[in-house]
Structure 1
Amino acid sequence: MASGDLGRDAAAGPLDLDDVERAAAAALPPEVWDFVAGGSGRELSLAANRAAFDAVFVRPRVLNDVSACDPGTTLLGRPVRFPVAVGPVAYHRLVHAEGEAATARAAKAAGVPFTVATLSSVPVEEVTAVGGAVWFQLYWLRDTGRTLDLVRRAEDAGCEALVLTVDVPWMGRRLRDVRNGFALPADVRAVHLGAGTSAAHRGDDGASAVAAHTAETFSRSLTWSSVRRLREHTRLPIVLKGVLDPEDARRAVEYGVDALVVSNHGGRQLDGALTAVDALPDVVAAVDGGCEVLLDGGVRGGTDVLKALALGASGVLVGRAPLWGLAAGGEDGVRQVLEILAAELTDALGLAGCAGVAEARRLATLRRGGPSP
């Protein structure tokens, strides 16, 4: 698939992620762009994710030595250049022929983890061969044996963590895809789920083929006993992605989970679900240091990462933005996205009076209309 002009000025490159988003939208066919950009229902949660970040303001500190700002930290015990991981997004080959392999190379170059999805269009073995830190995102399948086979495959490939997505018993009603009758092209498939034509390729007016495929494949019976079984089955760190309720967060700690991702699935599941930004402080308080807490949904710049840190997160996942970079400029486009985030975060740290991530977590925040919880 042809790449677009990455940014407003090809010589200068994109100045921020909005430039990258525009370039990606111009590069992709409308139905593919809708698949990438869209949310569920009326897209209330999709819009709220961004609005929630915009409503948070940081109280900067002054008279601190910021001559050597360092955004480096650790995620899941591994050093990272800055507190960002590339989150799981399905079917990267929809937007670029090299797919997840190109995104993983860019993440390695940026010094951050890459999360390969169950619905990846490139095998996990090819992704880990890149050599960076790779996490494996896991959907619980109707066939538990196949699910545990995927776990073993991820372990054998060298993945460093399992990210169990817990908010998708089935795919939310994504009306853009329904209206487009969206289906995968023949050369893009979920390579971890077997060969052959699947429901994801059978287009039909007024229906999403991708949603039909997940309805056939994903378990609707994922429970805490499944989490216990996964904990007994693997020694890898387990991350639960899709937690918004503090009681669920407390229970996750009891079940030996290593980290949580506070997330409403980028506004693509329950429309009207609480935003991650709004849920984060209560989740952080509930786990009380018992596990790491990450956030995703709506992150569009380094100041958003700073705000997430100030609200208690260990770091953030970014999903759509790297995919925009991949669509607009391939591997180099993803690198630009991650370098923009790193530069903006370093700038935000210094201007907030923070020499590093630890200081950022002590910043006070205010929400428009009142203090943050």
Structure 2
Amino acid sequence: METNGTPDTAPPSRPGPGRARQDAIYRSGVSGIRPRVPTDAAGLERAARRALSRKAWAYINGSAGEGRTYDNNRSAFDSYRILPRMAHGVKDRSLSTTVLGQELSSPLLLAPVGAGALVHPDSDLMIARAAGRADVPYVVSNQGSSPLEDIAAACRNARNPDKSREYAGHWFQLYWSTDEQLVDNLIARAEDSGAGALVVTLDTTVLGWRPQDLNLGSLPFSRGQGIAQYTSDNRFLRIVRQRLRDHVSGGTGGVRVTPAAVASLLSIARHHPGPTLRNLLAPEPRASVETFLDIYSNPGLDWDLLATLTQRTSLPVVFKGILHPDDAERAFEVGADAIIVSNHGGRQVDGAVASLDALVEIRERIGEGPTVLLDSGIRTGRDVAVAVALGADAVLLGRPHMYGLAVAGEQGVREVVENVLADLDLTMALVGAPDIAGLRQMELRRSAPGPSRVSARRQL
């Protein structure tokens, strides 16, 4: 029976990830069980700080200089107001999208974060498994704590068998070394691992001024953490052994024999491939650290070098670290398939423009066609929605998934991803966006941001 042409019954709507996540939490709450991983960004950050060592917290949470760029990222997101629409009739939603020809279950990827061994020795494997089970791609860090091949296998083996689409798996982030043969080796390993794209980081030709690490005298790489892609690479090991034969010393300066120095030596031995006792007695582990610090990044990286990638890989090429519209145009001119608008989470240049503001300017310059992703400042599903509405094809989630790892290991990473996607789904439901194309039409208003809530983070 119909009334005024409208059926008196309608097919039941399918609960999206938002309602499913809410239901799971509330049902557990009946038994007094609360989420181990906080569902709000500030609570997650506080929980992670309690779980992490001082050095791990400084490296993961720390920013360049006085933290202005970090604050700029959050202030930019806070300055946008969503204008919801009512009576839109949207019952079902799809978060799926396509990026670089790859079908993704959502516009979310996990960003590369180096030196995850600060949190757990198997951090990258844990993140990879969580990403596989949550059906989001993991951008594997060149400064990872496990070899790329092992991380890729963890992604594949953890793939959710209930998913019908082919899982995109992983991408690989490349830091351009001063040794071109090493660059080619890393690219070849990315291809052999089945990576979906090669992500070249442009904004870290040198490390930014990071007081949180400097005040502790702490650089994880100098303790052998985060260099597993190098110590598992044949070309890199040949360089190390040649330097040992040539008696080349590193640029780290003299090291005083102190308890801290002994602890650093033990850390190097533990993180180098092979038995720890053998590594303590061998020169190669220490030489590997010195070699890494000397050659891992190329301060002379320029557009001419980047243009050679079209002849050096069959993978889609993504340039990460673009903020200026001129650089965005140049990136596509030299052969990039996509760019990631990013200020490295505020870790490189203090007082840099917010990535979200740069995204708006870049989209205005290059138009809607080119593939553009956003990194830096994403904390919630609402943030993902705003970024997509302002022109991002997808976003990268960085610190939050590391906080989840610190709080609850592999399950913590998965819960952070599920919470972000649940928030995104519910935001879409409330504004009337049935899919990602509809989300791009979401109306926003911009106003001057109020008092910054992120400035209190240093007191967490």
Question: So what's the TM-score if we normalise by structure 2?
Answer: 0.73
Aligned to 1:155: 191
Aligned to 1:242: 321
Aligned residue for 2:308, secondary structure, equals helix
Alpha-carbon separation, structure 2, partners of 1:199 and 1:33? 26
- Determine whether 1:356 maps to 2:380: no
Q: Does the Cα contact within 8 Å between 1:198 and 1:213 map onto a contact in 2?
A: no
Q: Match for 2:141 among 108, 117, 125?
A: 117
Aligned to 2:279: none
Q: Following TM superposition, by how much is the alpha carbon of 1:290 offset from its aligned partner in structure 2, in angstroms?
A: 4.0
Q: Match for 1:46 among 70, 87, 108?
A: 70
Aligned to 1:11: 34
Alpha-carbon separation, structure 1, partners of 2:174 and 2:112? 9
Alpha-carbon separation, structure 1, partners of 2:120 and 2:435? 35
Aligned to 2:360: 281
Q: Does the Cα contact within 8 Å between 1:181 and 1:203 map onto a contact in 2?
A: no
Q: Match for 1:176 among 181, 192, 212?
A: 212
Alpha-carbon separation, structure 1, partners of 2:43 and 2:250? 35
What is the letter of the counterpart of residue 62 of structure 2? Answer: G
1:98-137 superposed matches below 5 A: 98-130=122-154, 131=156, 133-137=169-173
What is the letter of the counterpart of residue 273 of structure 1? Answer: A
1:22-37 superposed matches below 5 A: 22-37=46-61
- Determine whether 1:300 maps to 2:365: no
Q: Following TM superposition, by how much is the alpha carbon of 1:235 offset from its aligned partner in structure 2, in angstroms?
A: 1.1
Larger radius of gyration: 2
Aligned to 1:3: none
Aligned to 1:221: 300
Aligned to 1:315: 394
Q: Match for 1:70 among 85, 91, 94?
A: 94
Q: Following TM superposition, by how much is the alpha carbon of 1:82 offset from its aligned partner in structure 2, in angstroms?
A: 1.4
Aligned residue for 2:173, secondary structure, equals strand
What is the letter of the counterpart of residue 303 of structure 2? Answer: W
Q: Following TM superposition, by how much is the alpha carbon of 1:187 offset from its aligned partner in structure 2, in angstroms?
A: 6.2
What is the letter of the counterpart of residue 407 of structure 2? Answer: A
Alpha-carbon separation, structure 1, partners of 2:51 and 2:251? 26
Alpha-carbon separation, structure 1, partners of 2:445 and 2:308? 41
Cα root mean square deviation, aligned:
2.6
Change (3 A) 1:41 1:303: same
Q: Match for 2:230 among 184, 193, 196?
A: 193
What is the letter of the counterpart of residue 98 of structure 1? Answer: D
Alpha-carbon separation, structure 2, partners of 1:352 and 1:211? 53
Q: Does the Cα contact within 8 Å between 1:17 and 1:340 map onto a contact in 2?
A: no
Q: Does the Cα contact within 8 Å between 2:114 and 2:226 map onto a contact in 1?
A: no
Aligned residue for 1:70, secondary structure, equals coil
Q: Does the Cα contact within 8 Å between 2:65 and 2:210 map onto a contact in 1?
A: yes
Aligned to 1:365: 444
Q: Does the Cα contact within 8 Å between 1:253 and 1:290 map onto a contact in 2?
A: no
Deviations 1:279-313 (A, max 9, x none): 11111122223421111111110000000011011
Q: Does the Cα contact within 8 Å between 1:116 and 1:137 map onto a contact in 2?
A: yes
Change (3 A) 1:11 1:150: same
Aligned residue for 1:299, secondary structure, equals coil
Aligned to 1:272: 351
Deviations 1:210-234 (A, max 9, x none): 9996565310111111221112111
What is the letter of the counterpart of residue 145 of structure 1? Answer: Q
- Determine whether 1:95 maps to 2:119: yes
Aligned to 1:254: 333
Alpha-carbon separation, structure 1, partners of 2:329 and 2:179? 28
Larger deviation: 181-190 or 270-279? Answer: 181-190
What is the letter of the counterpart of residue 333 of structure 1? Answer: G
Q: Does the Cα contact within 8 Å between 1:253 and 1:287 map onto a contact in 2?
A: no
Alpha-carbon separation, structure 1, partners of 2:153 and 2:394? 25
Q: Does the Cα contact within 8 Å between 1:306 and 1:348 map onto a contact in 2?
A: yes
Task: Give the fraction of aligned pairs with identical amino acids, expressed as a percent.
Answer: 37
Aligned residue for 1:129, secondary structure, equals helix
Question: So what's the TM-score if we normalise by structure 1?
Answer: 0.90
Aligned residue for 1:74, secondary structure, equals strand
Q: Does the Cα contact within 8 Å between 2:250 and 2:294 map onto a contact in 1?
A: no
Change (3 A) 1:214 1:280: farther
What is the letter of the counterpart of residue 376 of structure 2? Answer: G
What is the letter of the counterpart of residue 311 of structure 1? Answer: L
Aligned to 1:164: 200
Q: Following TM superposition, by how much is the alpha carbon of 1:20 offset from its aligned partner in structure 2, in angstroms?
A: 2.2
Change (3 A) 1:203 1:88: farther
Change (3 A) 1:44 1:369: closer
Deviations 1:54-99 (A, max 9, x none): 1111222233222102212122222222111001110212102321
Aligned residue for 1:339, secondary structure, equals helix
Alpha-carbon separation, structure 1, partners of 2:33 and 2:43? 11
What is the letter of the counterpart of residue 11 of structure 1? Answer: R
Q: Following TM superposition, by how much is the alpha carbon of 1:18 offset from its aligned partner in structure 2, in angstroms?
A: 2.6
Q: Following TM superposition, by how much is the alpha carbon of 1:16 offset from its aligned partner in structure 2, in angstroms?
A: 2.4
Aligned to 1:144: 180
Deviations 1:321-368 (A, max 9, x none): 111111111100000000001100000111111111111111222211
What is the letter of the counterpart of residue 277 of structure 1? Answer: L
Unmatched segments (≥5 aa) in structure 2: 1-31, 160-168, 232-236, 241-248, 259-263, 265-288, 450-460
Alpha-carbon separation, structure 2, partners of 1:128 and 1:117? 12
- Determine whether 1:291 maps to 2:356: no
Q: Does the Cα contact within 8 Å between 2:388 and 2:440 map onto a contact in 1?
A: yes
